[in-house]
Amino acid sequence: MKHMDVVAAVIIVDNKILCVQRNENKHDYISFKFEFPGGKPEKGETPEQALTREIREELKMDITIDYPFLTVQHSYPDFNINLQAFICSAADRKFTLTEHIDAKWMNADLLATLDWAEADIAVVDKIIYEGV
């Protein structure tokens, strides 16, 4: 089974967390699901370098990576994922969607109201129950 390393940014500005919605995907179990923005590291990149690059590409946004938050191993039907989530901040809430179909700035206590990709649920739960 295919294995993927992925990085994700829990971007917090003014006590709101940025949640982005995936577009349609060949795998229906992740199509239109919400996730924390990020992506796959390229060869030779550190997770932090990859995250900074991915957020610039996907959201046209500059972030500061504050600290590592949670690493999640999850098995989807067609692939395994190792997701490294980082708590991040930004100067403001401005962004431009280039890959996702929607985005919401949410209070932590409302995160569970969104339909999340399964790998991100552990990150959501830790935010809700333990804080950031």
Domain count, the chain: 1
Q: How far apart are CA 12 and CA 14, in angstroms?
A: 7
Q: Which residue's structure tokens are 């239109």? A: 32
pLDDT of residue 28: 87
Q: How many residues does the chain have?
A: 132
Model confidence pLDDT, tens digit, residues 24-36: 988 889 899 999 9
Model confidence pLDDT, tens digit, residues 45-104: 999 999 999 999 999 999 999 999 999 999 999 999 999 999 999 999 999 999 999 999
Q: What is the CATH number for 49?
A: 3.90.79.10
Per-position b or e across 32-62, b if 16+ CB within 10 A of its CB: ebbbbbbbebeeeeebeebbbebbeebbebe
DSSP state of 53: H
Domain that holds residue 72: 2-130
**17, burial (CB in 10 Å: exposed 0-12, middle 13-18, buried 19+):** buried
